[in-house]
A and B are shown apart, each in its own frame.
Chain A
Amino acid sequence: MSLRILSAALLCLGITVALGWAVLDRPAPEENLPERVTSAMPESGVEHPITAVLLNFRSYDTLLEIAVLLLAVVVALALREAQPDRPEQMGLENPLLRAVMAWLLPLILIVAGFLLWAGSYQPGGAFQAGSVLAAAGVLLRLAGVTTAWLDNAALMRAGLALGLLTFLGIGLLVMIPGVPFLTYPLAHAGTLILVIELTLTLSIGLTLISLFRLTPPYADDPDEAREQDAEAP
């Protein structure tokens, strides 16, 4: 056992040293990417370079990323067991949390909206706003607040798919004048990016919330689980 740990430690040490040396002795990149991004900024429709790269210059990455998120949540939904999703079982019977949520929730929503809007000219954007939305959903769940619209399966699935569908739809619609996939027309680039970011925020938030909700603290212990399954009708 200790021989295994020792050899693993030596191997990892060797890899770390080799990687550190590779970082020090890396070849200079041939392409001057910062300069290319800066020179293409006027065509992007937004003012912040990272948002421009994410949603215009390399929007394929972002499109496939939201597809991966959707795939993850679809697999998680498929693996979900037929178990009662009881919010009262979240285990945090804490009146303080519920009271604080009433104050925090509007603030969280404002922060999410601001982050989404700020993405066009400073750090921020759909991912950050979506994560903040998801945090609000997780807190609501921990506080035991029941949200009827989150339990509506059809609505939830529509929300999960909305981001990818809108992104794909806009990417295909701009092809009508004969330009390649996902090449936004210059005049409408800013608006299109904002629409995409809005739907992405919603879908990312819902994805993270449902991934959290798909693992309720139902009996984890196998023996206990069998007992509960036997009790269930």
Chain B
Amino acid sequence: MSGSLVFAWSGVLLFGLGLFGFIAHRHLLRRLLAFNIMGSGSFLVLVGLAQDGRGVDPVPHAMVITGIVVAVASTALALVVFRRWYRTSGRTDLPEDT
């Protein structure tokens, strides 16, 4: 019981850290990294809470593996968009932020 809570709390902590990084940084790459840390935190919460007293629940595990692959693909897509943005505008942040 307490083991699964340790994982879930670590996930919550990662989520909070990622959220702070996402708000505090302007650079798009740093924001992307922070967003990925938030995502990893929520995956850890899902996997950690999937093991309550009744055995391991495979449904959240399957959801998390789907989520990891989608997160990798969206990160790569974001990087492609950021590079295009940098090439056209020469900026590493968005004009709305400054």
Interface residues of A, Cβ cutoff 8 Å to B: 4-5, 8-9, 11-13, 15-16, 19-20, 23-24, 26, 28-29, 32-35, 37, 49-50, 52-54, 57-58, 61-62, 65, 68-69, 72-73, 75-76, 79-81, 125, 127, 130-131, 204, 207-208, 211-212, 214-215, 220, 222-223, 225
Taking a contact as CB atoms under 8 Å apart, the answer to whether A26 and B76 are in contact is: no
A130 to B72, CA, bound (A): 12
Beta-carbon contact of B87 and A81 below 8 Å: yes
> For the complex, is B3 an interface residue (Cβ under 8 Å from A)?
no
- B66 near A222: Cβ-Cβ < 8 Å: no
Nearest Cβ in chain B — how far from A132, in angstroms?
13
Residue among B20, B54, B69 having the largest count of chain A Cβ atoms under 10 Å: B69
B contact residues, total (Cβ < 8 Å): 44
The residues of A that contact B63 with a CB separation of less than 8 Å are 61
Per DSSP, chain B at the interface is helix
* A13, A15, A69: the one within 8 Å of B73 (CB): A69
Chain A residues with CB below 8 A from B86, complex form: 220, 222
Knowing A8-B20, A204-B69, the reply to whether A16 touches B83 (Cβ < 8 A) is no
Cβ–Cβ < 8 Å partners of B62 in chain A: 50, 53-54, 58, 61
Given contacts A23-B5, A75-B77, A215-B83, whether A8 and B23 have CB atoms under 8 Å apart is yes
Listed residue (A13, A35, A52, A215) with the most chain B CB atoms within 10 angstroms of its CB:
A215
Contact partner of A16 among B15, B55, B81, CB < 8 A?
B15
